[in-house]
Structure 1
Amino acid sequence: MTSLFSKFEGTAGALGSVVAVGGRNPFAVVIEKPVSSTVGIIEGRETLLFGTNNYLGLSQSKNAIRAAQEAAAACGVGTTGSRIANGTQSLHRQLEKDIAAFFGRRDAMVFSTGYQANLGIISTLAGKGDHLFLDADSHASIYDGSRLSAAEVIRFRHNDPDNLYKRLKRMEGTPGAKLIVVEGIYSMTGNVAPIAEFVAVKKETGAYLLVDEAHSFGVLGENGRGAAEADGVEADVDFIVGTFSKSLGTVGGYCVSDHPELEFVRLNCRPYMFTASLPPVVIAATTAALGDMQAHPELRKQLMANAQQLHAGFVDIGLNASKQATPVIAVTLETAEEAIPMWNRLLELGVYVNLSLPPATPDSRPLLRCSVMATHTPEQIAQAIAIFRQAAAEVGVSPAATAA
């Protein structure tokens, strides 16, 4: 009889090889205790956190913690129902109003996770007979939403508006709606999308445009509204999806839009309809963190300065770092035999980053994904750069080996 788990044999073998090389499972790291937004205890040691997506450091916001405590005392710890049943409280509605107002949009939907926001919105908007145009480097939640949608999926080259235009033109006259999905900042490499160019393609072809601002919300734009704001084309984006688990430091997702039909999306969106809503504790903390983000624009400026410092340090070492200095900076290596020992040595020396291995990486090469926070001090960033230099030398990763 075939085992139900036989399909995982390849995964087991690959994981065994990774652990055999480095002695650790890099996908099961435990932060035993957060000391601050930038430091955590891992394996009993104080470790600099450069792999947490906590871009503004708001996971430790005193206002958010206080709001969560007050909400727990007043409202309890859960709703026990979905948003269309008993799971909508006044706090949920207020957060939706606040998010919509922040983006200057007519309406907003709040989801229990950012993953569910993409899963729900994409699968509900695009149905059988429609066409989804996805950037080849799209997040897993976007691909999963497209699978659930039953729409035809057409991939275009990463960050390539011309390739998108050609693919849309080939579909000219084909029945069905067309929805373009791109990201503001791509989570693996830190690449920023040319939203204004995608908007031009959308206008010329009559398609709709959805931008996932998960990693650019709170990061890009004069007010932190993301890549669309930075490019000055917000009004031309039909749907903006994002998450609270990056810049706001909590959990949950959202979709904002000026389309009045968003109200009907609520009544057809299965991940929204059949998932328990976020507990009041999280909603209150998120609302407070959103207020912190708006009240402290200097956090964004410090974040970008920190990103530039870390990126410049990697370039100085000779590492193959991302082309752009954003809060996501990837160091690409040539082989897993280099990447796995280097990741382990970084952790031993006191720096935690994310290890990504093929086939989960964009160009089938392993990478060390680093993320910067506004709350990192210049001294912490300098320390991380020095540890990268030491680890690269000890493992034998030379500048020549990492040249782009």
Structure 2
Amino acid sequence: MTDAGILPEDKPIDALVSASAPDLLSKFDGLIAERQALLDTGVRDPFAIVMEKVLSPTEAIINGKPTILLGTYNYMGMTFDPDVVAAGKKALDDFGAGTTGSRVLNGTYHPHKDCEDALKEFYGTDHAIVFSTGYQANLGMISTIAGKGDYIILDADSHASIYDGCWLGNAEIVRFRHNSVEDLDKRLGRLPKGAGKLVVLEGVYSMFGDIAPLPEMVAVAKKHGAMILCDEAHGMGFFGEHGRGVYEQMGVEQDIDFVVGTFSKSVGTVGGFCVSNHPKFEVLRLVCRPYVFTASLPPSVVATAATSIRKLMHAGEKREHLWKNSRKLHQGLRDLGFKLGTEEAQSAIIAVILPDQEQAVGMWQSLLELGLYVNMARPPATPAGTYLLRCSLCAEHRDEQVDQIIGMFAAAGHSVGCIPA
């Protein structure tokens, strides 16, 4: 006889587990088999690339050879900015490697407040809050603002962090067709009068690089009495006069209640944030679970972010160069005969759409062998049946690098048969 909860010493654990006990990972067997079949063809794993050395915002050593980077989201090239790197080194010396605590306990250091001050300066808002990642910023803000009994109305193509924020907060989720103002209006009109409503939009949608029709959507949301949260993760830095994002460029700054963003794109480090003018905003520091119950960013990280943000306020020339790069690459790929996600360059993201996984992987591998790294995307990150190579340009890409990239796409496309010879 044994005490409750104590295993008999003479029986191994596996002998006590029923032979019919389900393997909880068996639901992924199809994906495991598909991935293995792909690797058995001799291609490299597109989702396991290791950069042995990063030489600059636009170049790295991959597989022992110099490679142009066209899939990093390092839009403004701030990762190697001397002032940004120096700020991080100084904060590491002054404050150590980490805080080992939450922001509401021992995890708020001077660099955290300075970073929030930099955000308020950059966005011209009264309030700013910094999260440990951009994912947590959406998770925290959306789940805290809208809870049980409220409604969240979001674009069907919204980022995973937006969907997860909806589920964490237990609000009712209402999807509308991607970028459809008409469908947004129709679905808002069906909701109960007087119910709490939050419309979540993205300035730039990261898979195809298309932008939202924010003025029309904001007008519809306001007509139905909804609050608005706009994710500017892929718009911060190079959209708008001050680089605040698509919502600034389209003139709806005064109508957006909350703006969420990340430090892992144009800012060049890691972290997330939300800025707002809402008078009750500061209460979120006490009730937002992904803010309260996680360790704060290392001081060296927020110090680099603050320095980068302040430099982005005066980065007009870099913004112009990035837009020139984007238009040139988009036109060059269209001229070669590739199918792209947008008719014209709408952002720094250019999606090259392939008909199936075989051609997508073949193009991706061929480009890597030629010395170009891009992102390969497939379902469920993309719509069902959609395979693409996602290119993200950087303000530090030189003119001759963009010419090289177009040449590499031509060579790879011909070898794989994606474009006519």
TM-score (norm 1): 0.97
Identity fraction in percent: 51
Give the match for residue 406 of structure 2.
385
1:19 aligns with 2:39: yes
> Which residue of structure 2 lines up, in the alignment, with residue 65 of structure 1?
85
Distance of 1:56 and 1:365 partners within structure 2: 28
RMSD of the TM alignment (CA)?
A: 1.2
Partner of 2:395: 374
Per-residue deviation at 1:22?
A: 5.0
Alignment of 1:260-275 (within 5 A): 260-275=279-294
How far is 1:90 from its partner?
1.4
Which of 242, 246, 260 is the matching residue for 1:223? 242
Alignment of 1:298-313 (within 5 A): 298-313=317-332
Is residue 94 of structure 2 the alignment partner of residue 83 of structure 1? no
Q: Aligned-pair distance for 1:101?
A: 2.2
AA matched with 2:208: T
Corresponding residue of 2:334:
315
Q: Specify which of 195, 201, 205 is matched with residue 176 of structure 1.
A: 195
| Partner-residue secondary structure (3-state), 1:211 | strand
Q: Among residues 67, 75, 93, which one is paired with 1:47 in the alignment?
A: 67
Distance 1:50 1:22, change over 3 A: farther
- Pairing partner for 2:265 from 246, 271, 274: 246
**1:217-244 deviations in Å (ceiling 9; x for gaps):** 0021011000110011101000000001
- Counterpart residue identity of residue 369, structure 2: E
Does the CA-based 8 Å contact 2:125-2:276 persist in structure 1? yes
In 2, Cα distance between equivalents of 1:225 and 1:57: 16
Question: Does structure 2 conserve the Cα–Cα contact (< 8 Å) formed by 1:22 and 1:341?
Answer: no
Q: Does structure 1 residue 103 correspond to structure 2 residue 133?
A: no
CA distance in 1, matches of 2:139, 2:83: 31
Which region of structure 1 is more displaced relative to structure 2, 143-152 or 13-22?
13-22
The answer to whether the Cα contact below 8 Å between 2:414 and 2:420 also exists between their aligned partners in 1 is no
**What is the aligned counterpart of 1:278 among 262, 281, 297?**
297
- Structure 1 residue runs of 5 or longer lacking an equivalent are none
Question: In the TM superposition, what is the alpha-carbon distance from 1:353 to its structure 2 partner?
Answer: 0.3
1:396 corresponds to: 417
**CA offset at residue 5 of structure 1?**
2.4
Matched, 1:256 2:275: yes
1:88-120 deviation digits (Å, cap 9, x = unpaired): 111111211220221111101100000000000
In structure 2, the residue matched to 1:34 is: 54
CA–CA distance in 1 between the matches of 2:48 and 2:294?
26
2:296 match: secondary structure: coil
Secondary structure, counterpart of 2:29 in structure 1: helix
Letter of the 2:143 partner, please give it. Answer: S
Quote the Cα distance in structure 2 between the aligned partners of 1:22 and 1:101.
51
Which runs of 5 or more structure 2 residues have no equivalent in the other structure?
Answer: 1-20
1:82 is aligned with what amino acid? S
Q: Secondary structure at the match of 1:381?
A: helix
Q: Equivalent residue for 2:314?
A: 295
Structure 1 CA distance, aligned partners of 2:246 and 2:76? 17
Contact 1:32 1:42 in 2 (8 A): yes
Q: What residue number does 2:348 align with?
A: 327
1:210 maps to amino acid: L
Measure the CA separation in 2 of the matches of 1:143 and 1:20: 34
3-state SS in 2 of match to 1:202: helix
Matched, 1:360 2:381: yes
- Residue 219 and residue 20 in structure 1: after superposition, are their counterparts in 2 closer, same or farther (change >3 A)? farther
> Are 2:232 and 1:213 aligned?
yes
Distance 1:399 1:262, change over 3 A: farther
**Matched length:** 399
Aligned to 2:177: 157
- Alpha-carbon offset, residue 322 of structure 1: 2.6
Report the AA paired with residue 264 of structure 2.
S
Larger CA deviation: 18-27 vs 94-103: 18-27
Offset, 1:363: 5.5
State the 1:396 CA deviation: 0.9
Moved over 4 A (4+): none
TM score, norm. by length of structure 2: 0.93
**Deviation of the 1:51 alpha carbon:** 0.1
Q: SS state of the match for residue 56, structure 2?
A: coil
Q: Residue 21 of structure 1 contacts residue 341 of structure 1 at CA under 8 Å; is this kept in 2? A: no
The structure with the largest alpha-carbon Rg is 2
For the Cα contact (< 8 Å) 1:21–1:340, is it kept in 2?
Answer: no
Hey, what does 2:23 align to over in structure 1?
3
Q: Which amino acid aligns with 1:277?
A: S
Alpha-carbon displacement from aligned partner over 1:321-340 (angstroms, at most 9, x marks no partner):
13131200000011112111
Contact 2:122–2:310 (8 Å) recurs in 1: no
Task: State whether residues 329 and 402 of structure 2, in contact with CA within 8 Å, keep that contact through their aligned partners in structure 1.
Answer: yes
